[in-house]
Structure 1
């Protein structure tokens, strides 16, 4: 079957969960996935290929209503789980109303004790009642057209009561026992459950100080009396024991009945145990309608650095016995320690791929579903490890520094996946209930410019009907459900997210610069108890490196040595190598061919000079040096000293894809970021102002086509544009430019307008109606929090007034209502990290509005610019203006005491601490002004 037809057959079964998938048995979907296995995706992973078009005419047909599979999803937290069917059905309906495209069901810690009077009953994880709730939610979700995903466990990482000590996270324990001078015996270390002595050594020194390079092997023998024997010596010595042990890490935030050890991700037995005891019952609850995907959160197996058969696996994979070198690996002493640690950490990567990623993906396919995973963390999974699963996911809005999000999107670009998702809004504007739609857009746009094409909101807390407003919250995340007053604009927020997600899946990725991740160098600096690639890579991929690339008008992908060998890097005109010293000769050979074929390399700092690992290191190092000398002597290779020189070097090799000029002084032009998708006859550029100041500049594209159109991502409307347009973006505003070979059908002529002029001040004369209260005259706009009566009000209020408009004002004019420009906040830098991300901007409209003119809905306002064209809705004479304004849920939360979880913790232990409760305070709300009427002459 041709590849494109394979994609279509799988997509036909998968892309419409509410329609087609309902009638397809699990076995049929599994067969379709299996059929596509050999044809559709690289290296044996089944994939879901959404609707991907290669020509802009096909893309444009779906701008008004993007496909359902591009809609944002929500992580749906079930606390306890204490859920009941009526409320599940209600929340699914509210999701559908808000334009949410799907859910990822995650069972977490209880929020309340069982209480029949309040209708609270915690359903133990995997109990018949819990599984019945899953069945019902899946049925209801699919009937509503929602995609339903399922976390394959409770809390995170995977584990639970079924994981015995032998299957728990492995960790090497090193015990040094002093042997006094003249002693022939010493006390042996105690070996506990799940432990095994792998090796022992003896040498001069004490337990606190010894030279690991001079330790000699010591026989390991059973000693019923707990005493070791050794020939006496005149000097004090130390016996060092290497004990395969367990970290003891427990599942974090588990549901009732989900408590227990975290499993060993490098052990096939542990994975099979989990799939049998957790995966099988969960999937059985879904019957012949399996979840769209099963999900795993990021690898957070803290402390892992060993597994039961590690020595045997190491011998097979690396070709030598690690046992004699354990002192060097676990002490870091000696010249050979980095090479040995490289091999030790690399083996962990291979084990997590072979014993976790591959088996879970294969298991998912057998059950008619897919595996979606955040594949980074501990153990040290690599970028190329993603290739062993179906759906790639990242997290983190750190778009101008190393991020897990770009790790996932780069893997998707390299291994041919049009969909890459991101856990989004995890730490948005803590404490909970303070995040606004503007905050959501500010972070989502940072995800989009990193290549994300599927937003997974974090998240949607299930809330029982009797809970006080604003409902439940996860301990450390924002809330995006119908309990938020601003949820009335969620359809517009979802529409924006879906439209951009859809657009960024089309054609092919077109980043021009690749950055080689120095995985081999990172393996060599890994240390016991903290083996991770993703945690150590920022030492090489520094913020300055990413910023230099982006500020030079480019976007970037990461590549790793595995990808260089497997799929090649010929799609990238430029490769950046940041202080890469360890690299295999075969990778250097690929790079040499890349340069001979016209590729350009910019090397920062050191260049390859060492074998990656330990075996045959002298011979391989000589090969590396020869190959490196040849490569870095070629034309097309540039060497620079520091990251700060990269921008100039890059501009000299390849001018920026997108260039801004005539940026006004003081404007943050470097906060304008973009991502490009390439089609056969067009290029799609998503451009976002990720800063809190407006931007006005001239825009130029390095590879223009014959025609240009400007797309409004909020509405999908197309307008003809100049090939080098003037770019004007409000704070956190975004736009899409389409450069095409032929004019885009449906693109309206560009309207020529004169300068905007304020013709009336509308800041006075409003009547404001709060629910269940008489109208209040508001002659001066002020925050609801200024009044004692509404300080702790979370909800919606309607502002009403008359507006007199003359017939001349409507003749050849565009008339808009402007609700103010807002105030940029000092850039504290907090928003650059995953903790505390928010829009650094205080708008004059808090926080969303629906505007009605003469009884007709004129539009919504939820991000800058807070200006709405009302021309089509006005008439000569008096007009009725109604503005429904919604604020944040935190104001209601600030007006009451927080719940007391003392009894809950006595019963279940302390499974959570609510985040930043000391910062809970009412936030400004309502129309703050000034509100003006603005006219522009239309020519």
Structure 2
């Protein structure tokens, strides 16, 4: 890709030539008004009103722009390229970045003046300081991961502060034996208890094991002789040994113990304090913690005394049952153990990191799910909850974060977005971006953190570097010309989803106590257990019947109540009397309770379980005695009908509409619905909204334009004619929205002229020009088979004066082709639709830009730019970088792995084939 050299105030930098053109087209400027000069603004509408929201929707604020995770490989970064990439992000409509130093992708080379800067070295700290300054100068948000790779850890983590686990060993004891060998106890380990009883290493009764009191001596421990064969069980406080994933140079080491305040404080003092100091008086907007992937962590040095203090009994005699018990007592023990682990990570990791962030004038952004066992309400301890995963019709880590935001009054919920989008790297398209982003919006997300933007060192062959398992959204990507359009759509919707208040109707209880009871040593994750209870069938019953939902847990019920019309209990068995009493009070005040499958029957903990379970049974019986307050249904399939009996649907859809979704935000003077057709087929349907207001206005999320859809004195059903993956906003208001154009009767598009043939096609980068008699893929020609980049299609089209009068005229490229999921792709999602233009196009008419083509409907309005007679049509088409990569051998990382160990494996990059490219279908002028 050709680059144009420019001068900046601080250093010589580089902006791609095409980026400068897009900056002009998108209205992005690197210049500012002279100091003291201010543009005159009209009187602003009342804050929070629909008029103010509409104005913001048309011109959304910068803080709603998407961000990118910026991978610094090595890190081998230099200041001119860092500044160039910051300016490129800004030109593309990206509002900021999260700095993420990760593994090296190339070895140091003195001949090329190429060097990986060791993490936290003086060179690294210098470029970190420079980046913060340049971001601040350009109005870009900066977030910073308080480590390299994930989870937190590194070479500063000693063995006694490393992530911890409970280790178990069993030794069979022959008859009449008087002692047994103690397993080897290494550094960072401690023998905490020994038990013996009848059985062998594979089969024994955990509940009958007797604790030995003798201390080990010279590697053995004494036991009373017995004529029976026995088993001896050893329980050892140990370490997981997990290393930081994808660490930068000199950042590898143990993952820290997230249950240990000492380990967390050590990390903050040694790592976080040094990182934050590089930013001086302009700290990052936020500091970040990725998903908790501390595999196997289930213990900490002082867990036993902490357990006894919190649960009221000593866990030590019950360790055999905790480890391998199968009865109800073992489940109750595991519940208490799991709850204790959640309390410890809440108090010793989330709280101190959040407190540290406040003290350093920044905010803690946290993906609070995974392993160890954080809960939904753990999100209340962080300033900026973040989710991950587009699974909007199943249990979702993303909805976990947005639900916590709704419950605990956090207006912004971010999400790591496009993590595994359409693998391999460089395969994802702008439509893929929109399709997944809309699924995040449907779950309540309103800040997208793209995954991501790989830094590429100067001189690296195009298309540059890529993270091992992610899409690429930087300006090395051939389809970058439409990025400003993509990001503006995402910015506009992100802004809208922050306005007013969330209006979800259904609260689905997360049965944390039941999930804790399912825990096993080495696998303690609430979010990992929830799919057993929050099934896709249950979620689909809510969504398909015209409702939206949040999750709630028992802690949130105690702290904020149940601010929803309906509460669903999904297959719940364990529930505390306190939670049941709160639910009963909610029902007495008009809340509706629906239990799916089982009813609460058992108290959750081990202590006083029998006595408390009797209370639970009595409270449950009393609650469900009145069917007007609470009712039980057999299974997930019955939920939709039960919900409709309890509450009128918020958005009832009739007609042909597969996987339609919506988000409802409530303003004082309006109800706003963001509606998405998330399928790859058109929707022909209508919607009836529960909100009762006089006017209905449709807002175009691509342009901000408003159309008055009101059809009578009272708002009735609204037509939902949506192309595949199309989205729209509907506003129900008491007053007509300013500037809304009255919807005209829908007229069908009719062909005006077929212009599919005899286009002149030029490939400027290849110095190739030809005429194509009919549409064809670039891959059909050996000269362009492995080409990635831009081709310019030109054609002269004659238009008569009679066709211009009062007509809409569009350049239409046809419809997309639905496809099925590729079984060879094991991870990630994609839009299951192939474009008739592969992959994007920018349309110009008589030298002026008409618009981009990257999503259905594949049509651009060109009427304002046409005139009578001959008109010059130019279509600049860009494809994917995959074609170039398919034409060359994959990168050999053997020497890199020999130097640093194998820290990554490129995802799905073997056996690449060039993909169809260019204008592939019928091109027509359409009129209506």
TM-score (norm 2): 0.93
For residues 880-919 of structure 1, the aligned pairs below 5 Å read 880-919=872-911
1:420 aligns with 2:413: yes
1:792 aligns with 2:795: no
- Matched residue, 2:649: 656
For residues 479-498 of structure 1, the aligned pairs below 5 Å read 479-498=472-491
Give 3-state SS (helix, strand or coil) of 1:858's partner.
Answer: strand
CA distance in 2, matches of 1:469, 1:830: 26
How many residue pairs get aligned? The number is 881
- Matched residue, 1:195: 189
Q: 1:711 aligns with which of 690, 699, 715?
A: 699
For residues 829-840 of structure 1, the aligned pairs below 5 Å read 835-840=827-832
Tell me if structure 1 keeps the 8 A contact 2:214–2:222: no
Please report how far the alpha carbon of residue 707 of structure 1 lies from its aligned counterpart in structure 2 after TM superposition.
Answer: 0.6
Tell me if structure 2 keeps the 8 A contact 1:177–1:207: yes
Q: 1:132 aligns with which of 100, 108, 126?
A: 126
Please report how far the alpha carbon of residue 19 of structure 1 lies from its aligned counterpart in structure 2 after TM superposition.
Answer: 13
CA distance in 1, matches of 2:146, 2:587: 45
- Matched residue, 1:118: 112
Tell me if structure 2 keeps the 8 A contact 1:431–1:920: no
Please report how far the alpha carbon of residue 670 of structure 1 lies from its aligned counterpart in structure 2 after TM superposition.
Answer: 3.3
- Matched residue, 2:343: 350
CA distance in 2, matches of 1:52, 1:90: 40
**Relative to 1, partners in 2 of residues 1:98 and 1:212: Cα closer, same or farther, differing over 3 Å?**
same
For residues 487-566 of structure 1, the aligned pairs below 5 Å read 487-566=480-559
Give 3-state SS (helix, strand or coil) of 1:523's partner.
Answer: helix
Please report how far the alpha carbon of residue 221 of structure 1 lies from its aligned counterpart in structure 2 after TM superposition.
Answer: 1.3
Please report how far the alpha carbon of residue 836 of structure 1 lies from its aligned counterpart in structure 2 after TM superposition.
Answer: 2.6
Please report how far the alpha carbon of residue 749 of structure 1 lies from its aligned counterpart in structure 2 after TM superposition.
Answer: 2.1
- Matched residue, 2:16: none
Tell me if structure 2 keeps the 8 A contact 1:431–1:919: no
CA distance in 1, matches of 2:559, 2:638: 31
Give 3-state SS (helix, strand or coil) of 2:475's partner.
Answer: coil
CA distance in 1, matches of 2:921, 2:103: 43
Q: 2:815 aligns with which of 821, 826, 848?
A: 821
CA distance in 2, matches of 1:19, 1:566: 49
CA distance in 1, matches of 2:518, 2:790: 55
Structure 1, unaligned runs of 5 or more: 1-17, 21-50, 664-668
Deviates more, 1:650-659 or 1:191-200: 650-659
Please report how far the alpha carbon of residue 869 of structure 1 lies from its aligned counterpart in structure 2 after TM superposition.
Answer: 1.1
For residues 170-209 of structure 1, the aligned pairs below 5 Å read 170-209=164-203
Q: 1:699 aligns with which of 665, 687, 704?
A: 687
- Matched residue, 1:221: 215
Q: 1:687-745 CA distances to partner (integer Å, 9 max, x unpaired)?
A: 11110001111221112311111110011111111332211111111000111111111
For residues 153-172 of structure 1, the aligned pairs below 5 Å read 153-172=147-166
CA distance in 2, matches of 1:595, 1:754: 50
Give 3-state SS (helix, strand or coil) of 2:142's partner.
Answer: strand
For residues 297-696 of structure 1, the aligned pairs below 5 Å read 297-569=290-562, 571-634=563-626, 635-663=628-656, 669-696=657-684
Q: 1:286 aligns with which of 263, 279, 284?
A: 279
Q: 1:772-799 CA distances to partner (integer Å, 9 max, x unpaired)?
A: 4142101101111111111111111111
Q: 2:74 aligns with which of 76, 80, 87?
A: 80
- Matched residue, 1:922: 914
Tell me if structure 2 keeps the 8 A contact 1:19–1:145: no
Please report how far the alpha carbon of residue 826 of structure 1 lies from its aligned counterpart in structure 2 after TM superposition.
Answer: 2.4
Give 3-state SS (helix, strand or coil) of 2:488's partner.
Answer: helix
Tell me if structure 2 keeps the 8 A contact 1:168–1:261: yes
CA distance in 2, matches of 1:552, 1:53: 34
- Matched residue, 1:152: 146
CA distance in 2, matches of 1:89, 1:52: 39
CA RMSD of superposed structures (Å): 1.6
Q: 1:250 aligns with which of 236, 243, 246?
A: 243
Give 3-state SS (helix, strand or coil) of 1:356's partner.
Answer: helix
- Matched residue, 1:863: 855
Deviates more, 1:341-350 or 1:770-779: 770-779
CA distance in 2, matches of 1:288, 1:380: 36
- Matched residue, 1:854: 846
CA distance in 2, matches of 1:595, 1:493: 45
Structure 2, unaligned runs of 5 or more: 1-29, 33-44
Tell me if structure 2 keeps the 8 A contact 1:19–1:142: no
- Matched residue, 1:737: 730
CA distance in 2, matches of 1:525, 1:98: 47
TM-score (norm 1): 0.92
Give 3-state SS (helix, strand or coil) of 2:57's partner.
Answer: coil
Tell me if structure 2 keeps the 8 A contact 1:341–1:526: yes
Tell me if structure 2 keeps the 8 A contact 1:56–1:681: yes
Tell me if structure 2 keeps the 8 A contact 1:393–1:408: yes
**Relative to 1, partners in 2 of residues 1:19 and 1:513: Cα closer, same or farther, differing over 3 Å?**
farther
Tell me if structure 2 keeps the 8 A contact 1:181–1:235: yes
**Relative to 1, partners in 2 of residues 1:53 and 1:116: Cα closer, same or farther, differing over 3 Å?**
farther
Tell me if structure 1 keeps the 8 A contact 2:836–2:919: yes
CA distance in 1, matches of 2:474, 2:373: 35
**Relative to 1, partners in 2 of residues 1:545 and 1:733: Cα closer, same or farther, differing over 3 Å?**
same
Tell me if structure 2 keeps the 8 A contact 1:709–1:744: yes
Tell me if structure 2 keeps the 8 A contact 1:675–1:686: yes
Please report how far the alpha carbon of residue 120 of structure 1 lies from its aligned counterpart in structure 2 after TM superposition.
Answer: 1.7
Tell me if structure 1 keeps the 8 A contact 2:162–2:239: yes
Tell me if structure 1 keeps the 8 A contact 2:623–2:629: no
Tell me if structure 2 keeps the 8 A contact 1:553–1:657: yes
Give 3-state SS (helix, strand or coil) of 2:742's partner.
Answer: coil
Please report how far the alpha carbon of residue 145 of structure 1 lies from its aligned counterpart in structure 2 after TM superposition.
Answer: 1.2
Q: 1:167-210 CA distances to partner (integer Å, 9 max, x unpaired)?
A: 11110001112221011122111111101111111111122221
- Matched residue, 2:232: 239
Tell me if structure 2 keeps the 8 A contact 1:551–1:670: no
